[in-house]
Structure 1
Amino acid sequence: MADPAIRLLNLLSLLQTPREWPGTELAGRLGVSGRTVRRDIDRLRELGYPVEAARGQGGGYRLVAGTAMPPLLLDDEESVAIAVGLRTAAAHPVDGIGEASARALAKLEHILPSRLRHRVASLGAATEPLTTAAEPGVDPAVLAALATAAAARERVRFTHTGGTGTETRRHTEPHRIIAAGRRWYLIAYDLDRGDWRTFRADRVTAPHPTGQRAEPRDVPGGDAAAYFKDTMYSRAPTHRAEVTLHLPADRAAARLGAAPADVRPLDGGRCLLTTGADTLGWLAARLLMLGCDFHVHTPPELITHLRALAARATAAATRPGGAPPGGPGGDGAAREDAECRNQR
């Protein structure tokens, strides 16, 4: 193998397989002498690749974890697998990966050979994720374009469909992408409106980077996640609740997924939960699913809602099997349906 650069890349590809490689086997794979292998190992170390060597008859070389992420060589199958995994992550947001997964997808798809891009696209077209109507999908290509623009500080034009179905063309400076629940949101500065805006990524289509640099700006307060939380809470009525749970604080926090500040330990294996939601129904369901006794301090509307739920549950449990609510005429069913609608 005459070309040293090609030989070095092939050596690196072999070492990135998680195993220990005897020097004689590396030399045979590369068609060079053991001395050349040792010299190439030294060159990889100079480039920042931490290659360890074990002496003795059973020793060899292996690539170990270092202090930085060096360039990674992938074969065709590995590249396709990672691209499909990143697309899946983009369609189903996972806490902690957020914008990074979209940026990684954009980088990988940019350098994939056309034959591999076709395979990734075919897999994406043939795969249907199991979602509900309440979980709108987001195009990974849109997400990748927005994340790349945010990282590169580049202005982007796109079409946004509002909650009423009205389409508007936006000229923005993307700042951050937030994964919240099962949705992705873009925080961007809207140049035409002269203010910050939050866009649902699944309602964004046809993003087009303009090539113009974005101005250096900070979201109000300087924290994109805090800004997103504040703006989202301000758009919907929020019910704040204070509840004593007959459950240790650590177990309550684990079941609720609540932040440590939301759960305060009390004596007797109890804790005080402070939480909120945009509907009383969700608050009630969250408390009932804990499977423990609890006492609601505020709000009084939640206490009323829980009493109504208890009455319906008691009626359902004592009603003869198959009998409609309220007797043969079914008038009770209509009344209960009306009550449910009023609660919503």
Structure 2
Amino acid sequence: MYDPSMRVLTVLELLQARETVTGAELARRLEVSPRTVQRYVARLQDLGIPVEGRRGVGGAYRLKPGFRLPPLMFTGEEALSLALGLQALRHLGLQALAPAAQAAGAKLGRTLPHPLRELVGALEDAVQLGASPGVVTTDAALLARLLEAVRAARTVGFEYVSLHGEATARAVDVYRAVHLGGRWYAVGWCHLRGARRCFRLDRMRGLSVQEESFTPPEAFDALAYLRATLSDLPPTHEISVWLASPPGELAGRVSPWHTDLTPEGGGARLKTQREDLEGFAAFVLGLGCDFRVDSPPQLREVFGRLAGRCAAAQAGHTLAHDPGPCAGRPAAG
């Protein structure tokens, strides 16, 4: 599991995290004998760490009350885990925390001994974390307030905006915050619906923590509930379409709700999310400008089906109303 020096440091970390820790628990966590735990404790005492203990059955250890060692000692794996975790924040849709993550990374670097700092820096430079498709930017401050409410088991109030832009006031007992499929969700009991529900954080507005408290259910698996719920919903597609018309000419014709419209190549790049691809395809055709579908592939398939239906309808119109160039002429031969 660890080399002996790492086991000694682990004993110190466990003692700092708990008021008292039994020798049996330390032995189990470190996968060593109780006698070996006694040697690790003695080593800490030799280093000047005031570890107090009582012997015998049920013996336990603790740090002298009031003693606190700053957490400046990290193993290489611990330091790398922290550094990569800070880098990964933006891939959880929390770009607003990027400055804080950079500052925390700088502080981490200052706490490491020079060889370890160089090692972590080299490993960071050797790793690239690509952005996952479909990651939705989430308000970090809103997430922080939500987590505060989860910790305190307090009801939250917010306005929730549906896919169609309709807003309803909600009061929810949130059991867990869950990140799944590039989005953050709140899972809990909705007072309005009188049932468990899940809510996307990017559709919440004006979240506030209420005075009302609740008792969360025991052993509730919010992730499993969310997966089961989402499997019953129509898929939400991430759409990226180039329109041969500048944004200014599309003003008033393209809804700004959950839609990103930016200039690109003499036209406009439209990015949005939709469940109904056929409805969106009809909307694009109604804009009356040339376009190119970059994603998703399913949208190109929808346009292909529409083109086939249009061709069939046009052919049927021609057969019914256009006699053609040979109509009324005697048959050849």
TM over 0.5, shorter chain? no
Structure 1 or 2, whichever has the larger Rg, is: 2
Q: Under a length normalisation based on structure 1, what TM-score does the superposition of the two structures give?
A: 0.36
